[in-house]
Chain A
Amino acid sequence: MSSLRTPLAVAAIVLAALLLALVFDGTVDVLMSAILLAALAFSGWRSIR
């Protein structure tokens, strides 16, 4: 189950960022988008090494 730890953490970060963007002002959506893209990029960085 250790192989699930990182992907579930990424999923939790993505979900939290999406929900935070709904709660806070629309101007923070750039920040939220950056977090989301970073999480997505982190998901794939090993594959392009």
Chain B
Amino acid sequence: MTSGRLRIWTTVHKWTALVSTLFLLMMCVTGLPLIFRGEIDSWLEGETAPVSVPAGTPRASVDSVLEAARTKRPGEFVQFAVWEAHAPDVVLLSVAPTRDAPPDGNRIVRVDAHTAQVLDDFPLEGRLTTFLLKLHTEMFAGFYGKLFLGFMGLMFLMAIVSGVIVYPPFVKQRPYGSVRWRPARRATWLDLHNLLGMATLGWALMVGATGMINTWADFAIKAWQYGQLFEMTGQTDLAAPQRLSSLDRALEIANEAVPGTEPYYVAFPGSLLSSNRHYAVFMRGETPLTSRLLTPVLVDAETGAFTATRPMAWYVTVLLLSQPLHFGNYGGPWLKAVWAVFDIATIIVLVTGLYLWASRRRRSSSEREMPRAADIAS
């Protein structure tokens, strides 16, 4: 590489990293506990466990589960019903003061799937992990916060790519992974920065890219609402249902419409992910990969009639796949531990990068000072 090109790429690496470092540090530090979000919630909030039942015990009807939540929160509206794969004995219901309220301020009602008894009822806001997630994803600045952090993600990716390009001239002929443990601390920090930067390269590229994609979630949802959802309903000004039909029946219809899948969650009429009139049942596959891919089925929430189904739009599928790959919650505790190791290594890369920049600035300014001191002496 010519010295001119090296200078350009070094400048790109320096400035893209400098611009994004503070925000990336914030995201790495808040992202570390978020890897263990479920565990922290269980530990801090003390969630009630469902009743232990013998295998094969039939579940309560979903309508009775909904009724239990409505009795607990009278006058409020269920917006989402969720069946999480890792907690099959619990139904999570997201409840809002109005049927079309933004879901950020919702309460979560956990209901035992077998007994239809309410286990817990708590607001989403006020939890430590909700605070960390909001800081991590939008810095409490809403849509613009997400866009800004998406831009920081792009800077991070540029810093990684330019870092790879300038890596060979900096390490010269030293073997990969060698660190000069010398009193000259700058060389040691530089070697550690290079070593950990390259060791975390694959993970950082993936987490950076998927994090950037996640910041476009609002766009993807809007595009889906005005695209595929509109295609399926055929119109936008649909009347709200006078009374809701059976959700059990809607789930049966969805199972018949997309065989070999199971319901993951239902968006109720008027909520963020459905029309004004339909139950949107999101079906997931049964293999580890297809369980991340959703197929929407619309069922008229007043008449209970099947309306339409489509394979999910590609941009939503990309978003759905990028979420586990960003948060590392698609394996078990070991994978989470690996995520934590990479996260901490990335924090060290960022801190060593800052140290290298600051020490170089100090050195250049002292070099500039020296001739002046010599001039004065002469």
Contact = CB atoms under 8 A, between A and B. Distances in A.
Contacts of B325: 18-19, 22
Interface string B108-131: 000000000000000000000000
Contact of B206 (A10, A18, A26, A43): A18
B178 A46 contact: yes
Contacts of A26: 288, 330-332
A37 B342 CA distance: 10
B300 interface: no
A22 B164 contact: no
Nearest to A16: B202
A11 B205 contact: yes
A32 B335 contact: yes
Contacts of A36: 338
A39 B325 CA distance: 19
Contacts of B174: 3
B44 to A, nearest CB: 25
Interface stretch (B53-61, B191-199, B307-315): B191-199
B292 interface: yes
Given A29-B335, A46-B176, A4 B199 contact: no
Interface residues of A, number: 35
Q: Chain A interface mostly helix, strand, loop or mixed?
A: helix
B179 interface: yes
B285 to A, nearest CB: 12
A22 B288 contact: yes
B176 A6 contact: yes
Contacts of A18: 202-203, 206, 325
Nearest to B331: A29
A6 B168 CA distance: 12
Nearest to B191: A47
B177 interface: yes
Interface string A8-45: 10111111001101111111011011001101101111
Contact of A45 (B164, B177, B289): B177
B167 interface: yes
B371 interface: no
B322 to A, nearest CB: 11
30 contacts: A3-B168, A3-B174, A4-B167, A4-B168, A6-B177, A7-B176, A7-B198, A8-B164, A8-B201, A10-B199, A10-B202, A11-B201, A14-B201, A14-B203, A19-B325, A21-B330, A22-B289, A22-B325, A22-B330, A23-B288, A23-B289, A24-B288, A26-B288, A26-B331, A26-B332, A29-B332, A30-B334, A45-B177, A46-B178, A47-B178
Interface of A: 1, 3-4, 6-8, 10-15, 18-19, 21-27, 29-30, 32-33, 36-37, 39-40, 42-47
Top 5 A-B pairs, shortest CB-CB distance: A29-B331, A14-B202, A43-B199, A46-B177, A7-B198
